[in-house]
Structure 1
Amino acid sequence: MLFSEIGLGPEVLRAVEDAGYSQPTPIQEKAIPWVLQGRDVLGCAQTGTGKTASFTLPMIDILASGRARARMPRSLILEPTRELAAQVAENFEVYGKYNKLNMALLIGGESFGDQIKKLERGVDVLIATPGRMMDLFDRGNILLSDIKILVIDEADRMLDMGFIPDIERIVGLLPKIRQTLFFSATMPPEIRRLADAFLMNPREITVAPPASPAATVTQAVTMVRNEDKREALRHLLRTEEVKNAFIFCNRKRDVAVLHQSLTKHGFNAGALHGDLAQSKRTETLEQFRQGEISLLCCSDVAARGIDIAGVSHVFNFDVPHHADDYVHRIGRTGRAGKTGRAFMLATPDDSRTLGAIEKLIGREIPRIMIDGLEAPDMSEGEGDGGRRRRGARGGSPRGDAPKSPSRRRGGASAEAPRDVPVAPEKAPEVQEVVEARRPERQERPERAERPERAPRDRGGRNERGRDSTRTEAPREARPPRQEERNDRNDRSEPRRRWREEDDGPSVVGFGDDVPAFMLRVARPVAAARAPGAFDGTDTPEA
């Protein structure tokens, strides 16, 4: 079947012909007609089969008629990584060059001002990562009430990166009547549940078994010790006819260390991971695409959707923790029907993870040996599941290593037993020895009483400087402050007390020394009044 037989418009067919394509891939052949009919599509195909074009081509044809309004995009494409979003934007520029469609790319690491200006002019196609998308929405720069088409690409990667809560929130903000396209290379149960929640009567399209590598990729695994991995990688790079290659590591810091090691040994290598600035990531990926860099040390940020033609090799310096990631990594080679080679370096700690990968792909990966390197005993790492636990010393799992005496509470030594029975009473002879050794208590000498000082004549003042001529009122004449305080704090009585004295109502304050401006006249105590009398509180009768 040809592209002209699928139902695409003349402008799109002309752009596809200019790109050098004439026949669609299986996923494109089956998905494009259903997308053009407005149906929801659930597409699952192995990586490198052209899933991106299966939704970009019909979207351009559908959006060709109509006009976008300011801050109200007509379609939304969500991607897990910045590199994949930028690649989809490039595809729209290639296939939509004969259609007058406005496009905006919203990814992190770029200027907010430039992205907001594009949104204010109105965009037909909005390509974004979930994080930057929600940032601009919370700022009020995007309105999602006019979305007609929603595309969730690489949904399984969205799940791995923790974007599912953001995806659920975004979908909740979209109109209920829309067309949703859901594409993924693997279909775990979690993704299946999300698809059932987001899609309405979808057309499910599966052109290859889920999580299956391309048949054009030759796979092999090399069993080495952990300290020999770099030497084994350099041997493979020198013996294989490597045109360009991806070298995947599990951790970002390992990417930087491996890049430095390869550069030191004379290899033309670059580094790509999530901690780099977006400008540096874009520059490095473009250098690799143009051939200025032949080896790209990267993390899983480059494992999904990166389409670079002619990649000859993929090296897994670390065995991926998740078996699905292995399929995506080696999918960077052998694309569009071309051949490729994929090698993986495994240590005894990776035995269980390697077994999970082989179970997923349904076959055993061939083992190869490297001359000059001793083959390790693979039975050494079968117990720890392929991952060395953090905090373990000497290869022992966490908790097996004895704690130092300084870490124990109370400074007890590690050799001392924890549960020591203590006798309730000591033997009589032991008690006698203890009493004999105990030093006798000595009575503290009593303090000698200080002699009274004779009063000094200070001109009417005593020794403390007070006026001795001033007479003080006897205690009985003082106001009962303590009784008043107790009476005031009594919770069983009202807080405020109203007192009636001979000269009229008293004032209420916070004490005897309260300033006059804080005092106010209290309400008089309610008194009995004659029926029908007016006291100023009720409305008088007419």
Structure 2
Amino acid sequence: MTFADLGLSDELLRAVTESGYDTPTPIQAQAIPSVLMMRDIIGIAQTGTGKTASFVLPMIDILAHGRSRARMPRSLILEPTRELAAQVAENFEKYGKYHKLSMALLIGGVSMGDQLAALEKGVDVLIATPGRLMDLFGRGKIMLNGCSLLVIDEADRMLDMGFIPDIEEICTKLPAQRQTLLFSATMPPVIKKLADKFLSNPKSIEVARPASASTNITQRLVKVDSRKKRDTLSKMLREADVTSAVIFCNRKTTVRDLNKSLQRDGFKSGEIHGDIDQGSRIAELERFRAGTVNILVASDVAARGLDIKGVSHVFNYDAPWHPDDYVHRIGRTGRAGASGVAYTFVTEADAEAIDNIQKLIGTKIEVVGAADVVASAEPVRDELARAPRGRGRGARPAPVEERPSAEIEQPTPREEKAREDRPRDNGQREDRSRDSRPDRTTSAAPPRRRNDQADDGPDDGWNGPVPEFLNFGFTQ
């Protein structure tokens, strides 16, 4: 089957061909004809399956006929994060270059005035995060009664971030007679209830078992002592055939500390987390794409939507607290038919998290000991051990057995759940409260710089980098 068999227009087929694609993925082959027939869709697909193009391509043909009006978008795509919204916008830019369609991003972190100006001109496609959309709707700056096509993307991520009430309210503002497309990697009961309420006789498309991992990815659990995580990681990065890697941590403080440690060890690494400003985020991702750095240390903000070709390895430095995040983390490798390797470091405290992951994916992951992957710590390694943070440059490093652990104390799943239950905006407002109890790791932590920000738990609120084409309209 080719894209020409799906009923797309000649202009769209030309753009697809020029983008280097000729054969649709399974979800594209099943979804595109149904969307063109104006049916509601429930699409269940794991990351990296070409889900975005499965709704972008037919939307372009559907919207090719008709005119947009000021402040009344003709279609709406809801995304949980700025990163994902930006990538959808890039898809419209790439595939819609032979159509006279206008597009706007309605997301946080950029000037509201520029977004209002784009809306005043009228847009065919509005790509938005729920928080900013509800904000402008409440101000009377946007009307949704002309929107005939709604896409709810990454619905399970919307649930994780607390956006489901906003989505339900948005749906009530849209015309009753509309086409609705819902896509999700998993289908928890809340999302199923949402679909039953707002979709009309939808066609269900499932191209992979919910929350299943790609068969192109070799998965391994590495049993390791929490005090030797960094040494084990450094040894694996040196001895394994790592061309490029994404290393995931649960907390922003761990991301920062681990990146500094890798750089001291001579690795070309960078970091991505929610405390980095927008310009730096964009620059860091571009450095990684260009190969200037080949190791990216990241929090879960990069687990979804980060589409970079050629990532050979994923390392879960911390086992994810939520099973779904495991699937999205390792999905950064093994994309577009390529093979990849995913290692997850496992300590004694991670037993419950690993059990939940294996139940979710329905597969037992092979367990290997750290000694099976790299050699045990040797005397030569002890001689090269870094001095504990907080000492002077010339200070003599303490013996390994006397050094306090530099690992960040992980909150329990119950504490993590309490954090997630707090109200959030569209990923911008973060809980800045600090535990008043003294941190037992302060003796090993560096003196806080003036511009350092306090760690505030899991970093699932960053909305990703914003592209340069924020108010982009398609040209001929």
Please identify the structure whose Cα radius of gyration is greater.
1
Q: How does 1:9-24 map to 2 (within 5 A)?
A: 9-24=9-24
The answer to whether residue 106 in structure 2 is matched with residue 102 in structure 1 is: no
Query: CA 1:287–1:138 in structure 2 vs 1: closer, same or farther (change >3 Å)?
Result: farther
Q: Which amino acid aligns with 1:296?
A: L
Residue 127 of structure 1: how far off its partner (Å) = 0.7
Residue 37 (structure 2) aligns with: 37
Match of residue 26 from structure 2: 26
* Counterpart residue number, 1:134: 134
The corresponding residue for 2:89 is 89
Does 2:317 correspond to 1:317? yes
Question: How far apart, in 2, do the equivalents of 1:278 and 1:356 lie?
Answer: 34
Q: Give 2:273's aligned residue.
A: 273
Q: Does 1:350 align with 2:321?
A: no
Secondary structure, aligned partner of 1:140: coil
Secondary structure (helix, strand or coil) at the match of 1:147 reads: coil
Which residue is 2:120 aligned to?
A: 120
Higher relative contact order (CA 8 A, sep 6+): 2
2:305 maps to what in 1?
Answer: 305
Note if contact 1:106-1:132 (Cα within 8 Å) is conserved in structure 2: yes
Instruction: Tell me the CA shift for residue 183 of structure 1.
Output: 0.3
Contact kept? 1:350, 1:386, Cα under 8 Å:
no
Shift of 1:351: 0.7
Aligned residue type for 1:287: R
Shift of 1:45: 1.2
Gaps of at least 5 residues in structure 2 are 378-409, 416-434, 441-476
**Structure 1 residue aligned with 2:327:** 327
Alpha-carbon distance change, 385 to 273 in structure 1, aligned in 2, over 3 angstroms: closer
Q: Which residue of 1 aligns with 2:172?
A: 172
Contact 1:185/1:211 (8 A) holds in 2: yes
Give the alignment's TM-score, normalised by structure 2: 0.78
| RMSD (CA atoms) | 2.1
Matches within 5 A, 1:143-542: 143-371=143-371, 372-373=375-376
SS of equivalent residue, structure 1 residue 279? helix
* Segment drifting more, 106-115 vs 155-164: 106-115
CA distance in 1, matches of 2:128, 2:10: 28
Q: Deviations over 1:80-107 (max 9, x none)?
A: 1111110111011000011111010122
Alignment correspondent of 2:474:
none
Instruction: Please tell me the residue identity of whatever aligns with 2:307.
Output: D
Q: Which moved more, 1:289-298 or 1:184-193?
A: 289-298
Task: Say which SS state the counterpart of residue 304 (structure 1) adopts.
Answer: coil
Match of 1:377 in 2: none
Q: In 2, distance between residues paired with 1:132 and 1:2?
A: 38
Retained in 2: the 8 A contact 1:255–1:299?
yes
Provide the secondary structure at the position in 2 that maps to 1:336.
coil
1:479-516 Cα offsets, whole Å, 9 max, x none, are xxxxxxxxxxxxxxxxxxxxxxxxxxxxxxxxxxxxxx
Instruction: Report % sequence identity.
Output: 61
Alpha carbons 1:70, 1:119 under 8 Å: kept: yes
1:200 alignment partner, SS class: coil
Work out the number of aligned pairs and report it: 386
Shift of 1:135: 2.0
Kindly provide the amino acid, as one letter, of the partner of residue 47 in structure 1. Answer: T
> In the alignment, which residue of structure 2 is the partner of 1:448?
none
Task: Please tell me the residue identity of whatever aligns with 1:314.
Answer: V
- Distance in 1, Cα, partners of 2:358 & 2:411: 15
Q: Which amino acid aligns with 1:334?
A: G
Report the alpha carbon displacement of residue 162 of structure 1 after superposing the two structures with TM. 0.9
- Alignment correspondent of 2:387: none
Q: CA deviation at 1:373?
A: 3.8
Structure 1 residues 216, 124: CA separation in 2 closer, same or farther (over 3 Å shift)? same
- CA 385–355 in structure 1, closer or farther in 2 if over 3 Å, else same: farther
Q: Distance in 1 between matches of 2:167 and 2:274?
A: 21
Shift of 1:293: 2.3
Contact 1:349 1:388 in 2 (8 A): no
Amino acid across the alignment from 1:82: R
Hey, what does 1:491 align to over in structure 2? none
- After TM superposition, give the deviation of residue 295 of structure 1 in Å: 1.3
The 1:369–1:169 alpha-carbon spacing in structure 2 relative to 1, beyond 3 Å, is same
- In the aligned structure 1, how far is the partner of 2:348 from the partner of 2:254? 19
